[in-house]
Amino acid sequence: MSRLAKPLERADEAIAVERFAVAYRTEFGLVPAVSNVSFALKRSERLAVVGESGSGKTTLAMAIAGLLPHETAQVDYGVARVAGRPVDMSASRSVIPVRHEGVSMIFQDAMTSLDPVATIAHQFRSVLGKRGVRRSEIRAESIEWIEKVGIPNPERVLKLHPYELSGGMRQRVMIALAMCSKPAVLIADEPTSALDIVVSRRIMDLVLSLAVELGTAVIVITHDIDLARKYTDRMLVLYNGEVQDLCSTDSVTSAERSPYTRALLDCVPRLQDYDKEFLPTLARSIERAAS
């Protein structure tokens, strides 16, 4: 296990995984997607998982949340704890995926992640009811969470369906639904991919302020390395399902980092590159970083 993934005191531990692996079932047998991933986060700590498309980022997130169907994926948790409690392995073997207790997730596309036929009020009732909130108190707490994420006129919003909201409002509703369960761990899978840069920064500020308020650890899945460097404490770099680096965000530019990590950083578009005929490619940058 990496030095940065060393075991934490249980009282301060939000999540810990060791030797985590996922393989997909195909007609040709098991195909590895994520191999031997280990890390640990304490409460309010923030980890970015970065890598190119197909590197295993979303697979890792879905497996941690317990949302990969057993029929299509084989998940080996090795050692896994959420809020100091072992992950219930039986839940991952059910026909319908069951989200692991203590873990919430913000998905890339709020429109397809929210229930299209249920009102916002009904979706809050489902989440808050599972948390044990009294039926008589659910409406008041729903309004409170909608206000927390900065949506005006919450009474009206509760009566609406997701398709009646703007994209930014749907994203904020999904954040409220994810946080109102008061999770130990929040996984944000490309939470700003469909938003412009100004709105995306506001959304990240909102997510992290709520996480600090609740003492929630945050795992951000992203292609945006600059966003990761600004908003997270540590960075886990995946390539082909394997960890290339697990380091503090401040040290990700160090020469000690792997060639793949340095190549990813080299491929980030910058204003000073406006007059270049060709921008760096990952393959060429890896070759240069390894030499």
Q: Rounded to 5 degrees, what are φ and ψ at 113? A: -95, -30
Q: What is the mean pLDDT of the chain?
A: 86
Q: Hey, what are 199's tokens?
A: 């709105």
Q: Judge: domain 3-255, CATH 3.40.50.300.
A: yes
Q: In this predicted structure, which of 129-133, 165-169, 271-275 has the lowest mean pLDDT?
A: 271-275
Provide the residue ranges of all domains of the chain, joining segments of one domain with +: 3-255, 258-291
Cβ(101)–Cβ(27) under 8 Å? no
Please list the residues that pair with 248 across neighbouring strands.
234
Cα dihedral 82, 85, 86, 88 sign: negative
Widest Cα–Cα separation across the chain: 65
Eight-state DSSP code of residue 151: -
pLDDT tens digit string along 116-140? 999 999 999 999 998 999 999 999 9
The three-state secondary structure class of 120 is helix
Q: What is the pLDDT of residues 212-254, one digit of tens each?
A: 999 999 999 988 888 888 899 999 999 999 999 999 998 888 8
